[in-house]
Structure 1
Amino acid sequence: MSNRTIVGVDIGGTSINIGLVEAGQLVKKLKVATPAQEAKDVVIKALLDGIESIKSGHEVQGIGIGVPGLLDTERGIVYDLVNIPSWKELHLAKEVSKYFNTEVFIGNDANCFVVGEKMYGRGDRYNSIAGVTLGTGLGMGFVFNEQLHSGIMSAAGEVGAIPYMLHNYEHYCSGKFFSREFGLDGDVVFQEALAGHAVSKGIFRQFGLHLGHLFKHLLHIVAPEAIFIGGSIKDAYPFFSDAMWEVLHTFPYKRVIDNLIVEKSEMNDVAIMGAAAVCDMNLNLKEKSDVSGIVI
């Protein structure tokens, strides 16, 4: 963990969440309404004003921004952001770095999560980790040997689109599973499971079986040392973990399973922390290789 002071930003369709992270600790945060339906420059101004407010009186070494969309992380470009229609091809890192004269790095939400776990969470103990976000959708990110593997256009980890059973993995391993298969809200199922309802516990068991198959798929391809689970469904982990492991134990290589770690993330404010961590990790890489981020 570094001693840097970094601004972490999570951009959503409803709100922009911004935090000041010092030595891996969130010391201040701010929420700004996203003027999502306004012109591009209006949204950018809201973002810049929020960052200006959070960093006031502090010298920061960089800014990390998490964006839920298709990205060119090397050039800092956001493409076709669904929740902000005016952002069709936005050189976001350039816009922000030009204003603040500091280095800016961007990443998608799943990548921010896994980097946050590596830099500021329990992932620092491992050389290879995967981070899985289980929420409205399904996302995944990878860190190997201190570096994020994001692939072309940050498309690595888009496992939700992989065909599985009658649909794909996102259908069975996200909040869509509860609504599409049972017509229920996932949080309602969770609350009923907490109250001891057998049917709701059974639904989570099915969810865990599907997740186990996803993780087996993952092990065949990259075999990380540890998998960290985040997203809104992570708190239900006790209700689906046994079924998940039941499937994992059918993996053909027993020694792999015996050494695999699967944990629920304990990070707070993970979206902000993850965005800051993306910046922190890239600054580490710059120090080692003298590769710059986006600075104007």
Structure 2
Amino acid sequence: MKYAVGVDIGGTKAAAAVVAETGEILKKTVIPTDGTVAPEEMIERISRVISKLIKETGLQAGDLSGIGIGAPGPLDTKRGAIHSPPYLPRWIDVPVVQLMAQRFSIPVLLENDANAAALAEKWLGAARGLNDFVYVTVSTGIGAGIVSDGRLVSGRRGNAGEIGHMVVDPSFGRCFCGLYGCLELIASGTSIAKHGSVISGRTLSTKEVFDLYRAGDAAIMEFVDRVFHALGTAAVSLVNTFDPEAIIIGGGVSQVGDPLFKAVQTHISRYALDAVGRQTQVVPAQLNQSEGVIGAAALCFQPGS
């Protein structure tokens, strides 16, 4: 049996786990991502967690195929560097692979976190048996992992799939990237909480916005319907561009459930370009709580698959 360490670096927390080649998680640890310290210090903390996990699982270096890291973009997988992701503003050209390889004598691989999650869903989740699909994560930010003809579409530096900056509705105003009406500006968990708070006149979490939606708050319902419309519009563009068998949606916002999935499915069935495309299924991710670390580990077991 072979094992790998999967690391999922996010804007608020970092998770690390020892994962078997069967997909079983032997042990997992989550720590806060401390934005007040230098990235090198944060990587050192993650490295200490990895060392502790390896020791606690009783594994030897020869049992491990490597360490896979999923991280938000922009990044450069060829150089093994994280380059200024919006939710990690101090992480500018951080050579994360090099820094971690100094601590461990096993291969270290870096991939966009949405791409890693797509690999996890292909391996063990909702995309098992599919050769063409798009995994969409709707969370703090929005991104996609694209699998075409059975292989991950990464792009030149690993940044393919940044659909959060697909323009869908300029009336929402200017995104931090400079464009007007980006999907992430409208439909990310961060944006839903922000817009919902403005509408209600009090500070709300994303969950509280959706609670008001379910309770029938008219103004919130109108806003959330626009969010679903934006996600549906983006999904139609993905269907028309990549001709997938399925759109798989994960991330915290997907936990709102049926209203989101039905809205996106309806959009595709009405507006996708051709009859077959209009039948593309929209399904929930199956590994929401662990897909980050499982997908990162999958980089070591089946890189590029």
Q: TM-score range by the shorter chain?
A: 0.7 to 0.9
Paired with 1:165 and 1:34, the residues of 2 have a C-alpha distance of 32
Structure 1 counterpart of 2:140: 136
Structure 2 counterpart of 1:38: 37
Paired with 1:208 and 1:35, the residues of 2 have a C-alpha distance of 32
Structure 1 counterpart of 2:175: none
Q: Does 1:250 align with 2:271?
A: yes
Q: Does 1:221 align with 2:221?
A: no
Taking a change above 3 Å as real, the CA distance of residues 199 and 242 of structure 1, as seen in their structure-2 partners, is farther
Q: Which stretch has the larger CA shift, 172-181 or 204-213?
A: 172-181
Alignment of 1:190-201 (within 5 A): 190-195=210-215, 200-201=220-221
Q: Does 1:274 align with 2:295?
A: yes
- Residue segments in structure 1 that go unaligned for 5+ positions in a row: 286-296
SS of the counterpart of 2:265?
helix
Q: Which stretch has the larger CA shift, 156-165 or 180-189?
A: 180-189
SS of the counterpart of 1:152?
coil
Identity %: 29
Paired with 1:100 and 1:6, the residues of 2 have a C-alpha distance of 12
> How many Å apart are 1:127 and its aligned residue?
0.3
TM-score, L = length of structure 2: 0.82
Q: Which amino acid aligns with 1:251?
A: A
Kept after mapping to 1: 8 A contact 2:117/2:292: yes
Structure 2 counterpart of 1:288: none
- Residues 16-35 of structure 1: per-residue CA shift (max 9 Å, x gap): 21111112011211123444
Structure 1 counterpart of 2:115: 111
> How many Å apart are 1:76 and its aligned residue?
1.3
- Residues 107-157 of structure 1: per-residue CA shift (max 9 Å, x gap): 122112211111221212100111111122211111223322111222211
TM-score, L = length of structure 1: 0.85
Paired with 1:10 and 1:43, the residues of 2 have a C-alpha distance of 13
Cα RMSD between the aligned structures? 2.4
- Residue segments in structure 2 that go unaligned for 5+ positions in a row: 171-180, 199-203
Paired with 1:276 and 1:194, the residues of 2 have a C-alpha distance of 37
Q: Does 1:90 align with 2:94?
A: yes
- Residues 211-243 of structure 1: per-residue CA shift (max 9 Å, x gap): 111111111211111111011111113112332
Structure 2 counterpart of 1:294: none
> How many Å apart are 1:278 and its aligned residue?
2.7
Structure 2 counterpart of 1:173: 187
Paired with 1:178 and 1:161, the residues of 2 have a C-alpha distance of 18
Paired with 2:196 and 2:155, the residues of 1 have a C-alpha distance of 32
Paired with 1:197 and 1:47, the residues of 2 have a C-alpha distance of 43
Q: Which amino acid aligns with 1:11?
A: I
Paired with 1:152 and 1:232, the residues of 2 have a C-alpha distance of 29
Structure 2 counterpart of 1:241: 261
Structure 1 counterpart of 2:25: 26
Paired with 1:158 and 1:105, the residues of 2 have a C-alpha distance of 20
Kept after mapping to 2: 8 A contact 1:64/1:279: yes
Paired with 2:70 and 2:246, the residues of 1 have a C-alpha distance of 23
SS of the counterpart of 2:37?
coil
> How many Å apart are 1:98 and its aligned residue?
3.5
> How many Å apart are 1:202 and its aligned residue?
4.9
> How many Å apart are 1:252 and its aligned residue?
2.9
Q: How many residues align?
A: 281
Kept after mapping to 1: 8 A contact 2:75/2:157: yes
